[in-house]
Amino acid sequence: MHDVIIIGGGPAGLFSAFYSGLRKMKTKIIESHPFLGGKVHVYPEKMVWDVGGVPPLSGQQLIDQLIEQGMTFEPDLALGEKVNSIEKEDGVFKVCTDSNQEHYSKTVIVAVGGGIIEPKKLQIHGAEKFEVSNLHYTVPSFQRFVGKRVLISGGSHSAIDWANELAPLAERVELVYRKEELKGHEASIELLIEQGVHLHEQSSIQALTAAPSGDRIEQVVLEHPYDGIKQVKVDEVIISHGFNRDASLLNESPIDLDRVDDFFIKGTPLSASSVPGLYAAGDILHHEGKLHLIAGAFQDAANAVNLAKQFIDPDANARAMVSSHNERLDDHNKRLKKQRIANL
């Protein structure tokens, strides 16, 4: 029996684990992947700018630091376990996974982002055969794009960020998107233009032309509603069309949980759901003041843990202790200080 089970090992889940450790709660993280870090793994080399007090750092660096912090109080881990349902019997939550494991807890924090996600594939016949060569749905390493002609399809923040990151490295970057205008941050769009990224507005990929060898894309056929067909020579193609969401966890759970658009938990700004003892943090949580930033996920996590603590112990303080005065953190800081001194 745990005090809290956290479903999801991304930024919201890891900070929930850290904060619940501060509040001396027996904690378990259940993560569907065999590793922690969540959706940040989709962009390990992209620079992350929106964490307060932290200078820009790569997605991989952020993952490493989130894991280090999240493991401070040694929560139990169940990796590679996909949660199928959440039940509540006699005031106790039972969390069931796809390997027929049952985990029991007094409270639950759902921190699965928008659910388990898979990139939306390019809907062109035969496109899948190029996934082993030069058709990509994530960008695990920038190095392979150095000096290449790169075409990115998508108008999302991720597509814009990838274009800006690759522009100084690639020979040429083309950004293809269906709408008349991009919806990214103004500074990011301005940077696209400054860096000479070639924009193909109101355009979409209609076909892929293979090289004579047949194993790589050599040209991409674009269609514009007024300008017609255009062929673009490429070395690498990146597709950023968003993600398909898996809502099976919420669909299969027999608890009476209020939802928004099927995929999100309808909650409060304090991370409470319609089920007493069940809370949400990160993108899965929806309320009128929701902020879809990593920084927002951290606040959700702290609120969820504080409510979970008071749910278990109504006499507990509404907020956690000052973190810098925690004994375990003091020991951790002393070890870091000794390391720095030894490195001088």
For residue 50, pLDDT beyond 90: no
Say if CB 108 and CB 13 are below 8 A apart: no
Q: What is the pLDDT of residue 118?
A: 77
- Global pTM reads 0.78
Q: Once rounded to an integer, what is the mean pLDDT over residues 82-105?
A: 95
Name 217's bridge partners. Answer: 210
Say if CB 58 and CB 46 are below 8 A apart: yes
Among 11-20, 113-122, 286-295, name the one with the lowest average pLDDT: 113-122
Q: What backbone torsions phi and psi does residue 164 show, to the nearest 5 degrees?
A: -70, -35
Among 57-71, 81-95, 112-126, name the one with the lowest average pLDDT: 112-126
Answer yes or no: is 324 a known binding residue. Answer: yes
Q: Which CATH architecture has domain 2-117+243-341?
A: 3-Layer(bba) Sandwich (3.50)
Say if CB 205 and CB 222 are below 8 A apart: yes
* 264 vs 270: CA distance, rounded Å: 15
Name 224's bridge partners. Answer: 228
* 116 vs 63: CA distance, rounded Å: 18
* 149 vs 235: CA distance, rounded Å: 5
Answer yes or no: is 117 a known binding residue. Answer: yes
pLDDT tens, position by position, 240-291: 998 877 788 888 899 989 999 888 999 999 999 999 999 999 999 999 989 8
Answer yes or no: is 19 a known binding residue. Answer: no
Answer yes or no: is 137 a known binding residue. Answer: no
Residue, of 103 and 56, whose pLDDT is higher: 103
* 295 vs 301: CA distance, rounded Å: 10
Q: What backbone torsions phi and psi does residue 223 show, to the nearest 5 degrees?
A: -125, 130
For residue 117, pLDDT beyond 80: no
Q: What is the pLDDT of residue 337?
A: 66
Answer yes or no: is 283 a known binding residue. Answer: yes
pLDDT tens, position by position, 103-114: 999 999 999 987
Structure tokens at 14: 């890891």
Q: Once rounded to an integer, what is the mean pLDDT over residues 287-310?
A: 93
Structure tokens at 87: 């039940």
Half-sphere exposure of 161 (CA within 13 A, CB side): 17
* 149 vs 172: CA distance, rounded Å: 5
Answer yes or no: is 43 a known binding residue. Answer: yes
pLDDT bucket at 332, cuts 50 / 70 / 90 = low
Q: What is the pLDDT of residue 336?
A: 66
- C-alpha distances out from residue 55 to 51, 157, 237, 297, Å: 8, 20, 30, 18
**Strand duo 27-31 + 76-79: pairing:** parallel
For 64, the enclosing helix (H) or strand (E) is helix 59-70
Say if CB 38 and CB 8 are below 8 A apart: yes
Considering the chain, what percentage of its residues have pLDDT values greater than 70? 95
For residue 300, pLDDT beyond 90: yes
- Greatest alpha-carbon span in the chain: 73
The domain segmentation of the chain, as residue ranges, is 2-117+243-341, 121-239
Say how many Å lie between the first and final Cα of the chain, rounded: 46
Class of the CATH-defined domain 121-239: alpha beta
What angle (nearest 5°) sits at the alpha carbon of residue 49, between those of residues 43 and 55? 115
Say if CB 95 and CB 84 are below 8 A apart: no
Answer yes or no: is 239 a known binding residue. Answer: no
Q: Once rounded to an integer, what is the mean pLDDT over residues 40-45?
A: 82
Count other C-beta atoms under 10 Å from residue 173's C-beta.
27
Q: Based on the number of CB atoms within 10 Å of its own CB, is 122 exposed (0-12), middle (13-18) or buried (19 or more)?
A: middle
pLDDT bucket at 115, cuts 50 / 70 / 90 = low
Amino acid at position 166, single letter: L
Q: What is the pLDDT of residue 344?
A: 66
Residue, of 233 and 323, whose pLDDT is higher: 233
* 2 vs 113: CA distance, rounded Å: 22
Note whether 2-117+243-341 and 121-239 share their fold: yes
